[in-house]
Amino acid sequence: MKHDELFALLRRRGVLWPSAEIYGGAQGLYDYGPLGAALKRRLEEAWSAWFLGLSPDYHRIEPAEILPEAVVRASGHLENFTDPEVTCEACHAAFRADTLLEKVRPEGIDGLSSAQIGEILRAQQLRCPSCGSPELSVPRPFNLMFGLDFGPTGKERAYLQPETAQASYLAFARMWDVGRHRLPLGIAVIGKAYRNEIAPRQVLFRMRAFTQAELQIFFDPESFPVPFDRVRAERLPVLRVGPRSRGEESPEVVSAEELVRTGGLPEFYVYHLAETVRFYRDVLGYPAEAIRLFEKSESERAFYNKIQFDVEVHLESLGGYKELGAVHYRGDYDLGRHSEGSGRDLSVHPTGRPPLRPNVLELTFGVDRNLWALADLHLGKDGERTRWKLPAFLAPVAVGVFPLIEKDHGSFARALAHDLRAAGIPAQYDDASSIGKRYARMDEAGTPFCVTVDGATIADGPEQGTVTLRARDSRAQERVPAAALAARLRPFLVPPLPPGA
């Protein structure tokens, strides 16, 4: 589906809409309605089940989302977390330099200095996209963090967290003390990140407040054993650094084993890359041919990374490959900076090993971007009907419960929906309009199952009565005892764990 059509459908169904819509909206801010909020929760649960399922020593915490200034000074965000901004001298509109240049320079501007970017802008004779003036400023670094006055005096500064990762570094010492004193130790956070993006756009793709799910794995750089045999034969779609552009090139598919043996990447890194691909492909159901792992060169990588592959997925609504997550090898940058900044040495002494400063492998996942991808890749026309073929465990409503005739079968169907909810199955009662229209509404909302209560159900009583169970994707129908429904549906509603874990 095209971008505007998809956004209109999501808005109409109450999945999401611009924040402060009645005031004309607030750029880069979106609210989730009932379907969107439920889908987002289930996506977060599926991410946790998979990635925390990789080790019993990976745990999720819930930190505060405000960082004191000392933290972002030490992390480097105060100095480095900037985008080059260009303003129009005539109308004062502001633009990201890479957005201004994206048509003439699709490979982007990562690694270029402000002077070099200014040179390219001049050479291309670009004009202001808002008013057409040729008077564009030289690019200057614009810090993306939202700063706050902290406390009543206004003298203390703090910042809304620009990434959830920092909270895990701050928690490391405490988690080490309360844990089993062994590495690897994983600390996961799912929470909001706030960035004052110069040019928010493409709805959930460049937001000013968005949700990240990030796992920081702290490990001994001398020894990070992983069950590599589990992924050895996994086919990974990679686009390596080298002669390639930022465009629409297809990846080369190579095995995990080859990436280590001839590709020069560490086993621990490739193992996590493979588990990440499995999550996108086997859990979220993204087509294998839509996924590519885009390696970032030294000048393109974030300032803290030693190895970085972005997980990109081809999305029709956004016209190409888009970054939805990444695997970052951050070395000991973070614990080193926070050791210096806090004055507390964040080295550890694992049992049976000399003291060391752990390295960090970060698995980052943009929850909102993936929610959009789930709509782009799974929601669309299927014959006459619009169907959202979400994996069942992600569906906001697992089962629609309908009475064939409200006055005769309504009370049984209402009680059935209630019993299913009490058994932990998200069920929704619906008696409005024809059965066909109720199926259509549920198909569009991604509901994988519907049941219809009819005369035979009532005649046979609550213990023996059967209902018609209809599956969204196959449209197959069968009679199932109402009393057996919860047990029948439950296995479909549990997010998968990594195989062999």
- Residues lying near ligand GAP in the complex (CB under 6 A): 163, 165, 195, 197, 205-207, 210, 212, 214, 323-326, 362, 364, 366, 368-369
Compare residues 359 and 364 and give the one whose CB is closer to ligand GAP: 364
Compare residues 45 and 382 and give the one whose CB is closer to ligand GAP: 45
- Any residues with CB less than 8 A from the CB of 446 and at least 6 apart, and which? 35, 39, 378, 379, 388, 389, 390, 394, 395, 396, 397, 472
| Residue 324 beta carbon to ligand GAP: minimum distance, rounded to whole angstroms | 5
Nearest to 163 by CA among 191, 130, 131, 121: 191
Q: Do the Cβ atoms of 171 and 61 come closer than 8 Å? A: yes
Residue with smallest beta-carbon separation from ligand GAP = 366
Q: Do the Cβ atoms of 412 and 457 come closer than 8 Å? A: yes
| Residue 444 beta carbon to ligand GAP: minimum distance, rounded to whole angstroms | 25
User: DSSP secondary-structure letter at 280?
Assistant: I
| Residue 214 beta carbon to ligand GAP: minimum distance, rounded to whole angstroms | 5
| Residue 378 beta carbon to ligand GAP: minimum distance, rounded to whole angstroms | 18
Compare residues 205 and 280 and give the one whose CB is closer to ligand GAP: 205
Q: How far is CA 250 from the centre of its chain?
A: 22
Compare residues 165 and 445 and give the one whose CB is closer to ligand GAP: 165
| Residue 169 beta carbon to ligand GAP: minimum distance, rounded to whole angstroms | 10
Compare residues 364 and 447 and give the one whose CB is closer to ligand GAP: 364
- Pair type for strands 16-18 and 307-315: unpaired
Identify any residues that bridge with 312 across adjacent strands, giving them in sequence order: 292, 323
Q: Do the Cβ atoms of 477 and 491 come closer than 8 Å? A: no
Q: Do the Cβ atoms of 425 and 452 come closer than 8 Å? A: no
Compare residues 317 and 452 and give the one whose CB is closer to ligand GAP: 317
- Any residues with CB less than 8 A from the CB of 437 and at least 6 apart, and which? none
| Residue 311 beta carbon to ligand GAP: minimum distance, rounded to whole angstroms | 8
| Residue 161 beta carbon to ligand GAP: minimum distance, rounded to whole angstroms | 10
Compare residues 369 and 409 and give the one whose CB is closer to ligand GAP: 369
Compare residues 224 and 309 and give the one whose CB is closer to ligand GAP: 309
| Residue 200 beta carbon to ligand GAP: minimum distance, rounded to whole angstroms | 7
Identify any residues that bridge with 47 across adjacent strands, giving them in sequence order: none
- Any residues with CB less than 8 A from the CB of 209 and at least 6 apart, and which? 28, 29, 192, 193, 194
> What DSSP element (H or E) covers 44?
helix 34-52
Cα gap 328→303, rounded to integer Å: 11
